[in-house]
Homo-oligomer: A and B are copies of this chain.
Amino acid sequence: VSVSNPLLADDLGARVRTVLDAFLDHQQRTLYAVAPECTDMVHAVRDLLGGGKRLRPAFCYWGARGAGAPGDDELVRAAVGLELFQAAALIHDDVMDDSDLRRGMPAVHRRFAAQHQTRDRLGDCERYGMAGAVLTGDLCLAWSDELFSTSGLAPQALRRGRVMFDRMRTELMAGQFLDMLGQSDPHDLDADEAVERARHVIRYKSAKYTIEHPLMIGGLLAGADEHLLAAYSEFGLDAGEAFQLRDDLLGVFGNPSQTGKPAGDDLREGKRTVLIACARRGATSAEARTISRLLGAPGLDAGGVAELQAVIVRTEAHHEVEQMIVDRTKAAQQALAAARMPETARAVLSDLVTAATTRAQ
C-alpha cells in the first residue's frame, strides 16, 4: 500500500483550494453588496473550509478519472460542490447536536453567539448564534449546487451526475434523521438488532455520502459504464462503512488535539454508534445499566466519559469495531482491484481509502 498524500496526485489539493477561494471571493462580493455585515457568514465558511480532508471532492474527481475523464478544471469545480455540501452538513449537524468545537475551532453557531456577546447586541446570544448558523448552512447548501451546476461540464454530463447528486442529498438528510431518531430510542432494544440498526444508520448518514455517492457522481459525470458503477458502489459502501467505524472510534477514544472535537463527544451526544451497540451486546447487566444511565446524559463529565470508555474496553467492543474496519477495508480494496480502470486512478483511490480509514483526525 502506498502512503503518499492522495491529494498531491493531479495537484488536486491545490486546485480545490483555488476553486474554493475564487468562489468564496465571488460570494463575498455578493453579500457585501447587500450589506457589509453579511460577510460574517462567508468568513465563517472560509475558516471552516480552511481545514478538512477533501475526501468527497477527491472521491468524485478520481471516480471520474477512473472512468477515463481527463481531469480538467470543470470537473474540479463540480467536485468542490461536494465540499460545500459537507460544510452545510457539518454546520447544521453542530447546531442540532449543540456541539462546541469543529476542526479545533468554535462551531459556527458558537462563533456567532460569541460575536453577539463581544459586539454587545440585544437579545439572546444563543438564539442569535443558532440562527446565524442555520442561515450559513443554508448558504452552503445553495452554493454547493451552484458550483456543481455552473461547473462548465456539458449539460448531458451534468444531467447524469445530478441523478446521484440529488439522491445523495435526500438520503443524507434521511440518514441524519435516523441518527437523531436513534438518539431518542429506548435503551432496551435487542442487542443484535441494535448493531444492525446502527450499521443501517451509518450507511446513510455517512458511508454512502462520504464515498459511494461522490465516486458514483464522478463516474456518472464521466459516462462510466454499468460495470464500473457497480464496482464503485460496492467499493464505496465498504470503504464508507470502514470510514465511519473509524469515526466512531475517534469519537470515543480520539485525541482532541487531532480530531478538533472534545474527548468523548459522541458519548455526550448519545450517538447510537455501532461501537456502543457492540459494547451493549457484550455488557453485563450492571454495565448495560451504566450505558443507559450515562450515554447522552446532559453535561456528561470526564469521569462519566471514562466510565463509558471502560465498559467499551472491557467488552472489547473497540476490538470488534477495529476488526470490522479491517474486514470492510479489505473488501473495498478487493472490489477496487477487480474493477477495470486506469492504474493511476486505482492507486489514488486505494490511497484515499487508506487515508479515510486509518486517520487519527
Which residues does A use to contact B, with CB under 8 Å?
27, 30-31, 34-35, 37-38, 40-41, 88, 92, 95-96, 98, 116, 121-123, 127-128, 130-132, 134-139, 141-143, 145-146, 149-150, 155, 162, 166-167, 169-171, 173-178, 180-181, 183-187, 200, 204, 270, 296
Please give, as numbers and ranges, the residues of chain B lying within 8 Å of A171 by CB-CB distance. Answer: 30, 34
**A41-B174, A96-B127, A142-B169 given. 5 additional CB < 8 A pairs?**
A30-B174, A41-B177, A96-B130, A122-B296, A141-B142
Q: Please state the number of chain copies in the assembly.
A: 2
A178 engages B96 (CB within 8 Å): no
Please give, as numbers and ranges, the residues of chain B lying within 8 Å of A145 by CB-CB distance. Answer: 142, 145, 149
B134 engages A167 (CB within 8 Å): no
* Cβ contact of A123, chosen from B146, B149, B150, B270, cutoff 8 A: B270
Cα–Cα, bound, A141→B170 (Å): 10
- A contact face: mostly helix, strand, loop, or mixed: helix
B177 engages A38 (CB within 8 Å): yes
B180 engages A135 (CB within 8 Å): yes
A121 engages B37 (CB within 8 Å): no
Q: Which residue of B lies closest to A41 (CB)?
A: B177
A35 engages B174 (CB within 8 Å): yes
Cα–Cα, bound, A40→B180 (Å): 13
Q: Which residue of B lies closest to A89 (CB)?
A: B138
Please give, as numbers and ranges, the residues of chain B lying within 8 Å of A122 by CB-CB distance. Answer: 183-187, 270, 296
